[in-house]
Amino acid sequence: MTHTELFNGAIEHLVPQAHRMGVQAVVLEPGRAVCRVPLAGNGNHLRTMYAGVLFTVAEVLGGAICLPSFDMARFYPVVKSVRIDFRKPARTDVLASAELPAERVAEIAAAAQEHGKAEFTLGATLTDEAGIVVATTEGVYQLRAHQP
């Protein structure tokens, strides 16, 4: 089973609200996560995507990127904060994407191993189907070691 399949199967139980919104991983590979959310069922009074849905698809990237990037048997992610800037109305399905360079992934893993946790910042870009940036986020997450 791929990381994408694992995430999409687990989101229903781990983050049921995101699942109900239709959030799905499209690409999950070490240092890279892309998730999609549909406009259908997620609109607001302006016929654009509801702001909370945009926030949700961006926020889940912090956990999604951890799945292929870190040993999840040893670590788990926690969100500390997320700041979002809404740029344009989203009138189509939205893709949210984030990346961590390989050297940063290694640093985070080493720090979490040594200290039991490591903080990292993850920027995300949300685009509509035409590639127009509808929002950007900056999230602060922690990778924490499971306690024995």
Sheet holding 94-99, edge to edge: 24-29, 32-37, 94-99, 117-127, 133-145, 75-86
76, amino acid identity? Y
The answer to whether residues 23 and 42 touch, using CB atoms and an 8 Å cutoff, is: no
Tokens found for residue 138: 């900056």
pLDDT averaged over consecutive 10-residue blocks of the chain (148 residues)? 95 96 98 98 97 98 97 96 98 98 98 97 98 98 92
Q: Are 43 and 49 in contact (CB under 8 A)?
A: yes
Range of the structural domain that residue 116 is part of: 3-145
The whole-number pLDDT of residue 139 equals 98
The backbone region for 31, taken as left when phi is positive above 0, alpha when psi lies in -120 to 50, beta otherwise, is left
User: What pLDDT sits at residue 147?
Assistant: 83
| Total domains present in the chain | 1
- pLDDT number for residue 97: 98
**What's the CATH number where 70 sits?**
3.10.129.10
Q: Report helix, strand or coil for 57.
A: helix
Task: Specify the pLDDT at position 148.
Answer: 74
